[in-house]
Amino acid sequence: MKLKPARGNRDGYGAKVRLHAGGAVQYREAHSSGGYLTQSSSILHFGLGAGTAVERLEVLWPGSKEPQLIRSPRIDTLLTVQQ
């Protein structure tokens, strides 16, 4: 998943994403590094295992109070989410 905020911060750093699939919830936060002298990809990866569908994604953008909801996104593809 690639995040595209409306302005500023071009990679969506600070955005919090929750994925709901098969009764489980996965959480990722977009950030630029993982530790000392490291660099992370701006693309967020989620694994579904044998799952075949995602019920919804919730993207909480920096400075927002309510999450952006995406219902039934396609799987096995690079999804770009615009704020």
pLDDT tens per residue across span 24-67: 999 999 887 767 777 777 889 999 988 899 999 999 999 899 99
pLDDT band at 72 (very low <50, low <70, confident <90, very high): very high
User: Rounded to two decimals, what is the model's pTM?
Assistant: 0.86
**Predicted pLDDT at 78:** 93
Asked if 75 and 19 count as a contact pair (C-beta separation under 8 A), the reply is: no
**Predicted pLDDT at 10:** 81
pLDDT at 68 over 90: yes
Query: Residue 13: which domain range?
Result: 1-83
* Number of domains making up the chain: 1
Q: Buried (b) or exposed (e) across 42-71, using 16+ Cβ within 10 A? A: eebebeeeeeeebeebbbbbeeeeebeebe
